[in-house]
Chains A and B, each alone.
Chain A
């Protein structure tokens, strides 16, 4: 059974954190500038860069193996009673800071809808479109072994 009708708060947060992590620093800065000024935020964990082991699984049933290490920057920021976290690929500290600040703002029910509308939804749409374009380009080069199937 799937729970598509009522997504859990955790799944919703995973979704917006993923969108923020994929966006560029400029996009996040522009989104933040469009919002009403946020109150003073406190940096709990300044941006720090480290390595994360990425694990993969061959097929659907193979054993997990270590694919390789990936550079990740993390940051935690407190905005009022909410703590925003960001884990982003690469070493852009400014972007990690912005993503954590936006995550904190998104957890605040008073600000959630405004931030979703101004920042996350446009970014999410743009990312999905970019993905669809990429998929179309890839699909155009696909080879169907149609002739072999009919000749047999």
Chain B
């Protein structure tokens, strides 16, 4: 039997603080924010990804994840979220290893674009000021972000995803306790 570990120490305030960090990250695409969550999710989930899931996932959001049974059990216990083996049906997709293709995820419909999936992608590191050039809503001129360990064909896949607007996938990049968001409206060019 795997050993369950605790979630947020203070479920209400910690979830609100994490939600605030995610909201800030989503409204300023590519800006790196720290999620100050005092949690230790089971490996390989990092604390930022764990906090994001505890804040966002619930019984109405099917999850797809590649992080193993311990993480699945932890999320089922603390969020009550159903785990689905069908990546196309998942509202949140958690990728700790190789990132799944963006094309496989649910992009929502023109009537209900908010139903598009959110990819929570765990990467090796986030560095501001170099790398990709981000432009679009929420960025005055240009913002630069280097994502260590991002999939090689990510920018090409993102261009296809961005063309689907208002449908599409939102991405939350997590590394340790830092997060940066790539909402579907942002444009990415190789730096």
Residues of chain A whose beta carbon lies under 8 Å from any beta carbon of chain B: 42-46, 48, 76, 78, 81, 83
Q: Is the CB of A44 within 8 A of B77?
A: yes
When A and B form their complex, which 5 residue pairs have the shortest distance between CB atoms, in order from nearest? Answer: A44-B6, A44-B4, A81-B1, A78-B4, A83-B4
Residues of chain B whose beta carbon lies under 8 Å from any beta carbon of chain A: 1, 3-7, 9, 11, 77-78
A48 to B7, CA, bound (A): 13
- The total of interchain contacts (Cβ-Cβ below 8 angstroms) comes to 21
Query: B77 — which chain A residues lie within 8 A by C-beta?
Result: 44-45, 76
Query: A46 — which chain B residues lie within 8 A by C-beta?
Result: 9, 11
Main SS of the interface on chain A? strand
Q: Is the CB of A45 within 8 A of B3?
A: no
Main SS of the interface on chain B? loop
Q: Is the CB of A44 within 8 A of B5?
A: yes
Q: Which of A43, A45, A78 has the most chain B CB within a 10 Å cutoff? A: A45
CB distance from A2 to the nearest CB of B (A): 31
CB distance from B148 to the nearest CB of A (A): 33
**A81 and B78 in contact, given A46-B11, A48-B11 (Cβ under 8 angstroms):** no
Query: A43 — which chain B residues lie within 8 A by C-beta?
Result: 6
A28 to B77, CA, bound (A): 26
Chain B residue at minimal CB-CB distance from A48: B11
Q: A45-B78, A48-B11, A81-B1 are in contact. List 13 more A-B contacts (CB 8 A).
A: A43-B6, A44-B4, A44-B5, A44-B6, A44-B7, A44-B77, A45-B6, A45-B7, A45-B77, A46-B9, A76-B77, A81-B3, A83-B4
